[in-house]
Structure 1
Amino acid sequence: MSHSFATVVVHPPEPDHRGRRVTVAGSTMGYARDAVDVLWLVWAAGLDPDEVRLDDPDRVECRGAGPEVWTCPG
């Protein structure tokens, strides 16, 4: 199922090394440790992962770090 638009937010890395919380349209879908995890969570939310690019600021908002960062430093 494809939606015309849904905001995907990849939140800052968690200090406990769970990864990054991912929300879709305001609902928490889970935690991602890499880009593949984000696409699985997008799919679980009912979106077409082929339509979502992590580097597309119109669809995906990466907070606290870019899409290449998955854990807290240190």
Structure 2
Amino acid sequence: MASAPIVVHPPLGTGGRRLVARGQILGLAHSDHDVVEFLRRAGLEGAEELLDDPSWVKWRGGRAHHYEAA
């Protein structure tokens, strides 16, 4: 199986998670709303339906949908 095209990196010490799509950094997300908005700006509509699909999104470190510093 190919790796997911969207990666949500572990929470930073200051909070927020780096969002990368196909190797391109899209921004620092502090909520699912931020993730969806960054993906929308990158041309992916309907991203909210993909956040829990491991073929689309890989959540690294910490719990999925958790953005606070560890």
Give the TM-score range, shorter chain. 0.7 to 0.9
Instruction: Give the drift of 1:50.
Output: 4.3
> Normalized against structure 1, the TM-score is what?
0.79
What residue is the counterpart of 2:6 in the other structure?
8
What residue is the counterpart of 1:71 in the other structure?
68
Aligned positions, number = 67
What residue is the counterpart of 1:55 in the other structure?
52
Identity of aligned pairs, percent?
37
Which of 33, 41, 55 is matched with 1:36 structurally?
33
RMSD of aligned residue pairs (Cα, Å): 1.7
**Relative contact order, higher structure (CA 8 A, sep 6+):** 2
Indicate if the aligned counterparts of 2:30 and 2:67 stay in contact, CA closer than 8 A.
Answer: yes
Distance 2:38 2:64 in 1: 15
